[in-house]
Amino acid sequence: MAWARLATKTLTSAGANISTDAFTGNKFNQILSHTFASTTAARDLTFNNSSASVYAVRKSDNGGADSTATSQSFAELRFNSNEDHLHIIYTCWVSSQEKLAVCHFVSGGTVGAGNAPNRTEVVFKFVPSPDESLTNVKFNKGSFVNFAIDSNIMVIGTD
């Protein structure tokens, strides 16, 4: 089956989260996200609106030593909360198995060509119980302010 669009959402006003409408996920899914902060916003990613402690994350910021976070209620995919972010996420959803993801993202740094952006490499997994299919992707602002208008998230997939 060819790649096809599963969902897209663009904020038409500032919001506490950016969330896709419900969709039917595939075995292989790619998430593209370009988000702006209204002052500040975390990029706390959840699948299927699940905030259970079912996420485990490993990441490296700017090439530094890996850090891990386990039994989390979201995957934290933020560098600086006030900066624009571009996320590229590949995620695999095999029935009855842990859902695995590979993510790269850039956080734009302070505006201006004199300021280099920041780089984060991530792998994470989502361990729902009982098993789930992918139906929703959401970035939450966490304890920060809001996402800004025109933030976008897209999902394409294929079985």
Residues in 25-84 that interact with other proteins by CB under 8 A: 26-28, 30, 32, 34, 36, 53-60, 62-66, 68-72, 84
CA dist 44 and 19 (Å) reads 11
Instruction: List 46's β-bridge partners, or say none.
Output: 138
109 binds other proteins (CB under 8 A): yes
106 binds other proteins (CB under 8 A): yes
130 binds other proteins (CB under 8 A): no
What residue ranges in 13-151 does DSSP mark as E strands? Answer: 17-19, 28-35, 37-38, 44-47, 55-61, 67-72, 75-76, 85-92, 99-107, 118-126, 137-140, 146-147
Token pair for 159: 């079985």
8 binds other proteins (CB under 8 A): yes
Instruction: List 10's β-bridge partners, or say none.
Output: 152
149 binds other proteins (CB under 8 A): no
Considering only 21, 49, 102, 143, the residue that binds other proteins (CB under 8 A) is 102
User: In the complex, what is the shortest distance from the CB of residue 131 to other proteins, in angstroms, rounded to a whole number?
Assistant: 12
User: In the complex, what is the shortest distance from the CB of residue 141 to other proteins, in angstroms, rounded to a whole number?
Assistant: 18
User: In the complex, what is the shortest distance from the CB of residue 48 to other proteins, in angstroms, rounded to a whole number?
Assistant: 14
